Amino acid sequence: MDIGIDLGTANVLIAMGNKGVVLDEPSVVAFNKKTNEVIAVGNDAYRMIGRTPDHITVVRPLSDGVISDHKMTEEMITAFIEKVTGKQLFMPNIVMCIPSSVTDVESRAVVEAAKIAGARQVYLIEEPVAAILGAGVDISAPDGNMVVDIGGGTTDAAIISLNGVVAKLSMKIAGEKLDKSIVKYVSARYRLLIGEKTAENAKIAAANVYSPDGSRKIVVKGRHLVRGLPEQIELTDYDIYEAIIDQVREIINGTKTVFEKTPPELVGDIYKNGIYLTGGGALLFGLDRLMAAEIGVKCCIADDPLSCVARGTRLAFKRLDKLLDGFEHVSMYK
Ligand SMILES: Nc1ncnc2c1ncn2[C@@H]1O[C@H](COP(=O)(O)OP(=O)(O)OP(=O)(O)O)[C@@H](O)[C@H]1O
Ligand SMILES: [Mg+2]
């Protein structure tokens, strides 16, 4: 009954034994400031974003890929673990993936929360290693493979060979930043203030970062900044392109720099094997084609990119002893 957890900025996924992914909910907590109580986590809390009275706050405790709120992070992990284990006392082992930008001190807090929630042993795994395992790649051979995991808060690009990370780069540009850029663009261009959830929907429905042609579009609603009244407009893929392309190029340029830190034999392997795209950002329409064109290497979107990391954490149980720097046994928590 081992449990793999992908503690992401945007989503938390839990994979279990032979059942696969058993929980997939947004990393959101709703909190009552008057009573100091958590009133909802995950899907229930997500529905409250931007729609709460004064005494309730809805937080993303891991925004921007760092733990911005320890207490809420712990509450969230505990609630999710209890949800899948049903509070019984069977003490699972947990392999957990936390964003790479999280510091050691913060990791410690997360591990402690998992222990309090009933874990027997907690292991940590680096996100790119979990992502590439989940993409179904054999990383034990002396053969270089590259993964670019684009999540909500961070993008991780890494080259992996012989179970270890050879070169990597973690960037704080990912899905959330793209949403914010869309909010900014729409308010500057159309004088319409939209929420971040609306911006995210627009990105998913109408982005085309490779060849925008006006065919993908979406109607968005918000408040007109001058008139102050509700209004709706249509956004096309040209709009979304203009709003986010600079940041998308930053992600691609960051990915390119990883090659500079990689020995030439392995760079040659990547030319042959291509680049695997994982995380929700891998689904950004046209990104695979743009990246392939810019880098000159084929890019393939992994199957079900949003669950790669969670599936990878579960696969990692079979190789607890084999992974090198991608897998750290946190023995001090025994
Ligand atoms: N079809 C899509 N097109 C573009 N972006 C998408 C699509 N589907 C999901 N996303 C984005 O993917 C992001 C979430 O991805 P994911 O669940 O992999 O992040 P995470 O693992 O929680 O974050 P991190 O790894 O940074 O901690 C969100 O920003 C979401 O908007
Ligand atoms: Mg992730």
Distance in angstroms (rounded) separating the CA atoms of residues 257 and 274:
16
Please name which ligand lies nearest the alpha carbon of 102: 1
User: By mean pLDDT, which of 213-217, 231-235, 325-329 is the weakest?
Assistant: 325-329
Where are the CATH 3.30.420.40 domain residues in the chain? 3-25+70-128+311-333, 144-173+250-305
Cα(321) to ligand 1 centroid in Å equals 30
CATH class of the domain defined by 144-173+250-305: alpha beta
Cα(25) to ligand 2 centroid in Å equals 13
pLDDT of residue 39 exceeding 90: yes
Closest ligand 1 atom, CA of 127? 25
**Does the domain formed by 3-25+70-128+311-333 have CATH 3.30.420.40?**
yes
Residue nearest to atom 12 of ligand 1 (CA): 280
Q: Are strands 29-32 and 275-278 parallel, antiparallel or unpaired?
A: unpaired
User: By mean pLDDT, which of 19-33, 50-64, 95-109 is the weakest?
Assistant: 95-109
The string of pLDDT tens digits covering residues 113-144 is 888 888 888 888 889 999 999 999 999 999 99
What one-character DSSP code corresponds to residue 302?
Answer: P
Which is more confident, 333 or 169?
Answer: 169
pLDDT of residue 87: 64
Cα(100) to ligand 2 centroid in Å equals 9
Of the residues 284, 287, 288, which should be mutated to test ligand 1's pocket, given the most ligand atoms within 8 Å of the CB? Answer: 284
> Which range is most confident: 59-73, 79-93, 291-305?
291-305
pLDDT of residue 255 exceeding 60: yes
Cα(196) to ligand 1 centroid in Å equals 13
**Can you tell me the mean pLDDT for 2-26?**
93
Q: Which residues line ligand 1 (CB under 6 A)?
A: 8-11, 65, 99, 151-154, 174-176, 200, 203-204, 279-281, 283-284, 306
What is the pTM assigned to this prediction? 0.94
Closest ligand 1 atom, CA of 10? 22
Q: Are strands 275-278 and 299-301 parallel, antiparallel or unpaired?
A: parallel
User: By mean pLDDT, which of 28-37, 79-88, 227-236, 275-284 is the weakest?
Assistant: 79-88
Residue nearest to atom 18 of ligand 1 (CA): 279
Q: How confident is the model at residue 88 (pLDDT cuts 50, 70, 90)?
A: low
Cα(245) to ligand 1 centroid in Å equals 17
pLDDT of residue 333: 45
Q: How confident is the model at residue 324 (pLDDT cuts 50, 70, 90)?
A: low
Are the beta carbons of 308 and 135 closer than 8 angstroms?
Answer: yes
Q: What proportions of the chain, in percent to the nearest 5, are helix, strand and coil?
A: 40, 25, 35
**Can you tell me the mean pLDDT for 237-250?**
98
Listed in sequence order, the DSSP H helices in the chain are 43-46, 70-85, 104-116, 127-134, 175-190, 196-206, 237-260, 264-273, 287-295, 308-315
pLDDT of residue 92: 86
Cα(156) to ligand 2 centroid in Å equals 9
pLDDT of residue 240 exceeding 90: yes
Q: How confident is the model at residue 54 (pLDDT cuts 50, 70, 90)?
A: very high
What one-character DSSP code corresponds to residue 289?
Answer: H
Q: How confident is the model at residue 325 (pLDDT cuts 50, 70, 90)?
A: low
pLDDT of residue 260: 96
pLDDT of residue 56: 95
Domain 175-244, CATH = 3.90.640.10
pLDDT of residue 332: 47
Closest ligand 1 atom, CA of 11? 22
